Amino acid sequence: MKSFVYLVGYIIFTFIEHCIKGFINGDELAKVIGDTLSYLVSKDSIINIIMVFIVFLIFSTFWIIRNYIGAKELLQLFFKKVK
């Protein structure tokens, strides 16, 4: 669930970023919003959104595991020497 919340935040900030870029270029509101929405549904943006979601999913998974078993045990799980 946290990954979806982070993803929505990413999409909102990406939308705001592209709107600001449009306003800096001197475009009108309708053109800025249209260009921003067309960017958000473009192939490159969809790939970025999917990758960001996967990274947030991995981060959230490790964060939950860390909270459940503890930070020290998580480090030992990955960095302990195998006998």
State the virtual CA torsion across 75, 68, 50, 45 in degrees, nearest 10.
-80
Which pair of structure tokens corresponds to residue 78? 């990955």
Residue 51 pLDDT: 93
Q: Which of 53, 79, 74 is nearest to 63 (CA)?
A: 74
Q: How many C-alpha atoms does 55 have within 13 Å on its Cβ side?
A: 9
Report CA-CA distances (Å) from 39 to 13, 15, 21, 32.
13, 9, 12, 11
Global pTM reads 0.69
The domain segmentation of the chain, as residue ranges, is 2-79
pLDDT at 50: 92
Q: Which two tokens stand for residue 18?
A: 């592209």
Ordered per-residue pLDDT tens for the chain, 83 residues: 878 888 899 999 989 998 999 989 888 989 999 988 998 899 988 999 999 999 999 998 888 888 898 888 888 887 877 76
